[in-house]
């Protein structure tokens, strides 16, 4: 009864927030004041009502910790693959990469490739072993034969750092994006996102979060497919003709078909590539998804399905980016006019900035109705991602820190789940507050920082504890901590923070590279190896001796938990 009242209240809140769109807010990045986007709001409300109905259904099925954290292991491989794709295909991927292609052409693919090639690493090195050794979080796996308190502490620190920076970037992006697309004031947009993500997680747990991600993945893939289809159809399904036309109308001419403009030196390219590849294998909200299936076979199938869908999606964003060049650049209606009232910069003057290229293309190929659909999908995309992040953060606090470190395994399932729900609500309030505080700040570096921390702390601790017999608790803890601290320090000293955010003069940044992963990952892996080698304690010897039993279980699944019965 109480849950039902809360869900009704949440529905009312979302309706109030969307209704306030009548007070149109100024758009971001130089865009014009947006009129009330009725189609987008109606379609989004349909999505909200449907997902709140799913949350109510999920709440009735969530009776244990396994249900709340991992959907009782009852998600199929295909469903989980869709959900992983939905969790991973963020608004940054959809709007950001298509915007990069619109502005830079071929160079925009660097992020697509980096995000995608991390998945074979997840598939072959991590997915099966995660499912066989863990229950709810990757800390379960890292602490399988190592001492629980220090390993779960460093794992939770890494997870919460990733979640915090990722969540701030998503909330600020959500507010700015919805302000532009819906004409909704920034504060109301942030409150709407924070409220809905809290409801999904606190009441529906992993079941509701999974289905929100599945629905969002289907909507996003469907919308992107239609856009790419119309673009290609306009050129008789000839990519060559599409690219030739793009070269003709883009101010960069032939240079948009060649690489090297975005990342100019090899060190930066390698460091960025490492962060994108190995950061994926350390994102806590992605790793959690492998515990929602019944066995290792389903986990492998999940990654296979997700990799195919994500790869297909990034091909679509490439077509959409070039389509935006051909459809928009000669149409003054999509640009701010210069002082003379006639000329405009074909890249910098796009209404709302280059991130809006896909949205404007939706209007160009499908009219206002399809624009409303894509706007609603963009909102749904943000909701799905922040719901996964919130659940990962709540689980790190309730399961890794409270149940395992503070209560030393003596906490009841009921108290652990109750704390997780309370934590999800607190994270929701904190996310709204941080989204509001950081409204005027440059948060572009935060997603990069999240990937750098995931690659420098979470991934080394997880990989070395599972694959190297010599890893000890001391090595994993101090190596992981060094990776975490070094990544944070290097990013703070990089041009993105030192110069762009803190305002110091250009060229004064102590750390000259944009991404620290090459250096911070090297520090983490080296210290894990060195300190473990130097660890001659009895505890270290026992941990090395326990590797064989861990190896057998990680490869065979003997003793691993199966799906919960309902």
What is the SS3 assignment for 352? Answer: coil
- pLDDT 10s digits, 215-247: 888 988 998 999 999 999 988 888 888 888 888
Q: Which of 11-15, 29-33, 378-382, 414-418 has the highest mean pLDDT?
A: 414-418
- What domain range includes position 230? 2-27+37-259+294-441
In a domain, 522, yes or no: no
Cα distance between residue 397 and residue 420, in whole Å: 7
- pLDDT 10s digits, 342-401: 677 677 778 777 778 888 888 888 887 888 888 888 878 888 888 888 888 888 888 888
What sign does the dihedral 123-124-128-130 (CA atoms) show? negative
Query: What CATH number does the domain containing 312 carry?
Result: 1.10.4160
In a domain, 280, yes or no: no
Least trusted range by pLDDT, from 61-75, 388-402, 452-466: 61-75
In a domain, 319, yes or no: yes
Please state whether the predicted TM-score (pTM) of the whole model is above 0.75.
yes
Cα distance between residue 94 and residue 170, in whole Å: 13
Whose tokens are 């090195």? That residue is 125
> What's the alpha-carbon Rg for the chain, to the nearest Å?
23
How high is the pLDDT of residue 559?
A: 65
Structure tokens at 183: 């004409």
- Under the banding of pLDDT at 50, 70 and 90, the label for residue 51 is confident
In a domain, 50, yes or no: yes
Mean pLDDT of the chain: 81
| Contact (Cβ atoms closer than 8 angstroms) between residue 102 and residue 326 | no
Percent of the chain whose pLDDT exceeds 90: 13
- pLDDT 10s digits, 241-300: 888 888 888 887 877 777 766 777 788 888 888 888 888 888 888 888 888 888 888 888
3-state per-residue secondary structure call for 455-490: HHHHHHHHHHHHHCCCCCHHHHHHHHHHHHHHHHHH
In a domain, 516, yes or no: no
Residue 212 has pLDDT above 70, yes or no: yes
Determine how many CB atoms are found less than 10 A away from the CB of residue 372. 23
How high is the pLDDT of residue 444?
A: 62
* Number of domains, the chain: 1
Cα distance between residue 82 and residue 74, in whole Å: 14
- Under the banding of pLDDT at 50, 70 and 90, the label for residue 131 is confident
Cα distance between residue 314 and residue 3, in whole Å: 39
Query: At a CB cut-off of 8 Å and minimum separation 6, what does 468 contact?
Result: 529, 532
What sign does the dihedral 484-485-489-492 (CA atoms) show? positive
Q: Which of 104-113, 164-173, 311-320 has the highest mean pLDDT?
A: 311-320
Cα distance between residue 473 and residue 452, in whole Å: 22
User: For residue 431, what are the CA distances in angstroms to 17, 183, 224, 436, 553?
Assistant: 17, 21, 29, 8, 39
| Contact (Cβ atoms closer than 8 angstroms) between residue 387 and residue 237 | no
Alpha helices in 332-458 (DSSP H): 357-395, 413-437, 444-453
Query: At a CB cut-off of 8 Å and minimum separation 6, what does 4 contact?
Result: 56
In a domain, 313, yes or no: yes
Residue 20 has pLDDT above 70, yes or no: no
User: For residue 27, what are the CA distances in angstroms to 183, 390, 397, 478?
Assistant: 8, 27, 37, 46
In a domain, 499, yes or no: no
Residue 147 has pLDDT above 50, yes or no: yes
List phi, psi (to 5°) of 341: 80, 0
Residue 341 has pLDDT above 70, yes or no: no
Residue 38 has pLDDT above 60, yes or no: yes
How high is the pLDDT of residue 276?
A: 84
- pLDDT 10s digits, 482-532: 999 999 898 888 887 787 777 788 878 888 887 888 999 999 999 999 999
In a domain, 489, yes or no: no
Cα distance between residue 155 and residue 481, in whole Å: 9
- Under the banding of pLDDT at 50, 70 and 90, the label for residue 441 is low
């Amino acid at each position: 009864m109480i849950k039902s009242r809360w869900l009704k209240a949440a529905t009312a809140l979302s309706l109030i927030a969307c209704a306030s769109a009548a007070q149109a807010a100024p758009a971001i990045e130089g865009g014009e004041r947006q009129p009330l986007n009725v189609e987008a709001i109606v379609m989004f409300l349909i999505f909200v009502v449907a997902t709140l109905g799913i949350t109510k259904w999920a709440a009735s099925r969530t009776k244990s910790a396994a249900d709340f954290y991992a959907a009782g292991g009852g998600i199929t491989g295909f469903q989980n693959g869709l959900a992983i794709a939905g969790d991973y295909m963020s608004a940054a991927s959809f709007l950001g990469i298509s915007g990069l292609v619109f502005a830079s052409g071929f160079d925009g693919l660097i992020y697509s490739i980096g995000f995608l090639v991390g998945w074979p690493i997840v598939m072959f090195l991590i997915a099966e072993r995660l499912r066989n050794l863990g229950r709810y979080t990757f800390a379960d796996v890292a602490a399988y034969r190592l001492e629980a308190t220090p390993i779960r502490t460093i794992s939770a620190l890494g997870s919460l750092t990733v979640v915090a920076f990722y969540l701030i970037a998503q909330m600020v992006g959500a507010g700015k994006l919805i302000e532009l697309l819906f004409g909704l004031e920034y504060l109301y947009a942030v409150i709407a996102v924070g409220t809905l993500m809290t409801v999904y997680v606190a009441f529906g747990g992993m079941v509701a979060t999974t289905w929100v991600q599945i629905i969002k993945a289907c909507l996003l893939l469907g919308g992107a497919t239609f856009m790419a289809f119309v673009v290609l159809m306009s050129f008789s399904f000839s990519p060559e003709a599409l690219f030739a036309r793009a070269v003709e109308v883009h101010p960069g001419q032939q240079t948009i078909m060649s690489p090297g403009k975005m990342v100019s030196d090899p060190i930066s390219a390698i460091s960025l590539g490492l962060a994108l590849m190995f950061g994926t294998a350390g994102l806590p909200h992605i790793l959690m998804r492998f515990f929602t299936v019944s066995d290792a076979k389903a986990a492998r199938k999940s990654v296979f399905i997700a990799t195919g869908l994500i790869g297909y999606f990034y091909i679509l964003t490439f077509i959409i980016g070039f389509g935006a060049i051909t459809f928009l650049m000669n149409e003054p209606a999509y640009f701010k006019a210069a002082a003379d009232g006639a000329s405009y910069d074909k890249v910098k003057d796009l209404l709302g900035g280059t991130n809006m290229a896909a949205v404007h293309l939706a209007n160009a190929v499908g009219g206002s109705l399809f624009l409303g659909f894509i706007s609603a999908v963009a909102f749904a995309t943000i909701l799905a991602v922040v719901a996964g992040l919130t659940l990962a953060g709540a689980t790190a606090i309730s399961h890794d820190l409270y149940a395992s470190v503070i209560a030393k395994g003596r906490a009841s399932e009921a108290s652990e789940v109750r704390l997780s729900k309370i934590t999800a609500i607190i994270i929701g309030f904190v996310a709204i507050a941080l989204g509001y505080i950081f409204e005027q700040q440059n948060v572009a570096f935060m997603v990069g920082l999240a990937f750098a921390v995931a690659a420098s702390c979470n991934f080394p601790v997880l990989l070395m504890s599972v694959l190297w017999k010599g890893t000890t608790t001391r090595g994993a803890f101090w190596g992981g901590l060094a990776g975490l601290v070094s990544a944070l320090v290097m990013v703070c000293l990089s041009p993105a923070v030192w110069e762009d955010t803190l305002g110091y003069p250009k060229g004064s940044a102590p750390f000259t590279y944009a991404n620290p992963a090459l250096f911070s990952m090297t520090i983490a892996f080296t210290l894990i190896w060195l300190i473990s080698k130097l660890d001659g304690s009895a505890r270290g010897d026992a941990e090395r001796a326990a590797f064989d039993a861990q190896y057998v279980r990680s490869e065979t699944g003997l003793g691993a938990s199966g799906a919960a019965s309902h």
